[in-house]
Chain A
């Protein structure tokens, strides 16, 4: 194995990869798509709670405490308009107060607050809002509940600096880019096996180790450069760039191993797509768990991509450094080595079969 051989094989793989118009197009479009999606999404989190209200004769500033607390009141023209706003889904929560509400409240007379909920609002939220208005009632009548409420923030207090969805999505982008490239590389190898060109290569002085080295370098470079590019244009390299790039490099090694495994079982491009999509779905699961907080469970940690996704997420959004992410790096290295080793072992048998 020497540099000239590896260089020649890399040049050949590059020509072949981009001669497959499907993968070339997918590669370019995906890069543009990820960047566009990222910038199309809001960069901040809207912390205000909108509440439609129709409350005739209510004195100005009656709900000033609520408004200072982040609740945005949307006044409605009448009760019908209020109902319409909720029914149409324009608003999730509506409050209807009677014209005598403020007056009766001061006199200690019984009053009713009508709450209207959008049909798709979860039950838990409906109960929460009901409790919320009972509490307001007590506040407005000056008769506090005979309980003491204590609150505690678990984890980093992100009040006022919540993580925007687009930043939550960055690890998903990284995993998707890397995983899509498994299909490109696996397809390239499968084509070479089925067309017999691998056999032609292996009756030259080229050793099978050299062939794997070239395929590995090509796969890692292809995946890593694209993931790094998307991270770069979306600001994902602004914090701890070396650490993020190192995580992506390990991720690229992992997906190259997965590509070898796919190529060892796939018979043509369609089966590459089938196995590849299965791998994409499984490996992307941890990224969706980051997108939807609370759904992450212990079993996600058996997926190698979890350590890439969580690592990238925590470095980008949790302020983690080399020390905190060290265990992730170690496990990701182990998974990458295992997948690459297994992929080489099985694919080697196919090359020489």
Chain B
């Protein structure tokens, strides 16, 4: 508990550092929010200058940062330059869409990668090991956009069994089946990449744990193979997986951009890409800070996960193990 409080307190300076860094980066990037008018020949430099002045973009960067920070502290993320509504509203709505996609993705990834990894580590058959290696490697070598388009061509255009994109049928009320129907393909595409990596880590940890003393001891004591597998090996093999899920929680928001584009999923990854192109600073900062908060929380949860899985883990161990 004390550990938790300390970690939470530490999160404040961490987030502060992240905000300074992010703010600097996106404001130093060449171009500005008036880029969207650049294609029209009839817009004069004076008009663009006036807009920049009104948005406060002509102030010195530290001044802009302090203004932003002051707002952020009281929950005011600023007004989106593009939509002229609060940035929080824009970001949260899109984040919710991405969250749905990511939760389904994580469930699929876990359901597939853990058995896959265990199988390839414990199977007595060489062929199973080989096959699982090759399949998982293919998964990580296929670029997301390619897999996405191919799935759409095969199952949407040719077979017509999945919709061609979007979160739901336009004009219909929300219903669960419709939602599942729409979410399944992008979630599978997103899961493919994770399954590949995760099952490798599971396999490796399984092999590692299998060689360890307590497992051999347990076996030596005559415990059944399946008991050993589940009670001892798997639990310990989960540690890298917990880390990966913790990482995923943090990167959740930005990680799905290409899939969101291919499947017309109105998520936050796409919003971030558009906002980046249009230099919509308040939306960008909001989204990046949300990402940072989730990184910190994800990390914290992962740490607590280690202790939960392996009671020997003491998070506050000092240099001498005290």
Q: Do A and B bind each other?
A: no
Q: Which residues of A contact B (CB under 8 A)?
A: none
